[in-house]
Amino acid sequence: MHHLGQLRRGRARLALAHAERGRFRGDGHGHQDRRGGHGRVQQLLRLPRRPRPLLANQTAGVPFNIKVTAQDASNNTVTSFNGTVDVSSNRTCSAGCTASANFTGGVLSSHSITLSGAGTGSTISVIQSGGSASGVSNSFTVFSPDGAGTMIASPTYVANGAGGKTLTFTYTVPAGGMSGGALSLTVPDGWSQPSTTATDPGYSTSSYGTLAVADRTMTVSGLNRAAGSSVQIVYGVKRSGGPGATAPTTAGAQSWPAKSMITGSGSLQPLASSPSVTVLSPDGSGTMSPSPSSVSQGSSGNTLIFTYTAASGGMVNGTLTLAVPSGWSAPSTLSSDPGYSTASQGTLTLSGRKILVSGVTLAGGASMTVTYGSGSGATAPTSPGPQTWSATERSSNQAGAQTALASSPVVTVTP
């Protein structure tokens, strides 16, 4: 009986095989005779000296079986070998990269392996436990599972109800690449209907593959791309005469559900994270409240804090204005002045008695403050009564106009 040490380097080797359904008969010279039936087919995976690229490509996380045969220098099966081998891979292995079961008649008929790492140039290696005889499979690709890859949107926000918009969605191909793969992207309600007609607002194109539209879903098929490369889906294309897409009037972040299929034998599955595009709040949205809301007439040393809270959808590089009523100290950007004014974010400038804060970015529900009289303190009017501090808001510097809030803050001057 051959023991492990009897399979010597250069005189013996371990030939790997991929176990499949059917029957196999080898002729002792590495040739194959495949015949139909209900047994198992073994596709020999030769050593580099006799390459035969028969191991199929795999998918990360999906187990597959290999067969290992102990052979002598003439490719004859060493039927007396009943030892074990240590199995390994150049890919991350989540199962099966361990010592095997014992061979029977020189053959390990089936050994299950699961590779969790994807990539090209993947191999399976076996080495005789305690010995030197070894075998290496042909190079194959381990594809990422369906649903892998990432997709981002640009821009990530649009003005409320804006027209003429073009959005670019960039998908980055995961490890292992794509072979006959596909992507899908669903346009949320409220946006222009996606289309393959160049003059439509929702005209859409892809940088690779073939784009088709069904209802509100765009599907790009026939993708053969290397890992790390990208595929772009452009929605609202204007270069062929289209007007560009129109955004919804409902504010807030909207998910654009995206799916990927990595190989042609798979199915479209959701990405771990779909791209999101935020529809900003309409101009004039949000609330502003003063603190304190009342002061004594003619009093000095007053500091008023106006807190603005953004509406759903928020604002990006937006602008707020606040008009200081007559009778109050003039607003100023000098810290030594009674009306010295500051803002918790953005850039504060003045236009007469109007405080302007530009470059404001707030998510829906977030707040910022404008502080008036933050130096020595402002002097209040001598005339009692409620005074409205007129406030306006513009959600983005890309479109729209300064629009009055539904309710501006009121500070009451008491006797």
- pLDDT for the residue numbered 17: 53
Average pLDDT, the chain: 88
- pLDDT for the residue numbered 13: 52
- pLDDT for the residue numbered 383: 95
- pLDDT for the residue numbered 37: 29
Domain boundary residue among 248, 279, 310?
Answer: 279
Do 196 and 299 fall into the same domain? no
Do 26 and 53 fall into the same domain? yes
Amino acid at position 1, single letter: M
Backbone angles phi, psi at 5, to 5 degrees: -70, -10
| Residue 18: band (very low, low, confident or very high) from pLDDT cuts 50, 70, 90 | low
Do 21 and 115 fall into the same domain? yes
Nearest Cα to 335, choosing from 367, 308, 373? 373
- Let me know: does 395 contact 280? Beta carbons within 8 Å: yes
- Let me know: does 151 contact 270? Beta carbons within 8 Å: no
CA distance to 86, 117, 323, per residue, from 93 (Å):
13, 7, 66
Question: Residue 42: is its pLDDT beyond 50?
Answer: no
- pLDDT for the residue numbered 73: 83
Question: Residue 30: is its pLDDT beyond 70?
Answer: no
- Let me know: does 192 contact 246? Beta carbons within 8 Å: yes
Amino acid at position 280, single letter: L
Do 295 and 267 fall into the same domain? no
Nearest Cα to 278, choosing from 165, 402, 406? 165
Cα distance from N-terminal residue to C-terminal residue, the chain: 112
Scanning 285-377, the segments in alpha helix (DSSP H) are: none
Do 380 and 266 fall into the same domain? no
Question: Residue 21: is its pLDDT beyond 80?
Answer: no
Do 330 and 379 fall into the same domain? yes
- pLDDT for the residue numbered 398: 81
Do 56 and 114 fall into the same domain? yes
- pLDDT for the residue numbered 4: 29
Give the bridge partners for 369, in sequence order. Answer: 307
Do 19 and 62 fall into the same domain? yes
Domain boundary residue among 262, 279, 296?
Answer: 279
Entry pTM: 0.82
- pLDDT for the residue numbered 55: 83
Q: Average pLDDT for residues 82-96, to the nearest whole number? A: 95
Q: Which domain holds residue 356?
A: 287-414
Nearest Cα to 215, choosing from 257, 157, 164? 257
Do 194 and 308 fall into the same domain? no
With a pLDDT cut of 90, the percent of the chain lying above it is 80
| Residue 15: band (very low, low, confident or very high) from pLDDT cuts 50, 70, 90 | low
C-alpha 40/C-alpha 38 separation (Å) is: 7
Do 154 and 138 fall into the same domain? no
Do 272 and 178 fall into the same domain? yes
DSSP state of 71: E
User: Could you give the 3-state DSSP secondary structure of residue 24?
Assistant: strand
Q: Average pLDDT for residues 406-415, to the nearest whole number? A: 97
Nearest Cα to 133, choosing from 71, 222, 54? 71
For every residue of 177-222, DSSP letters joined together read -EEEEEEEEEPPTTSPPEES-TTSTEEEEESSSEEEEETTEEEEEE
pLDDT, tens digit, for every residue of 197-207?
999 999 999 99
CATH number of residue 96's parent domain: 2.60.40.10
What is the number of domains present in the chain? Answer: 3
C-alpha 342/C-alpha 357 separation (Å) is: 9
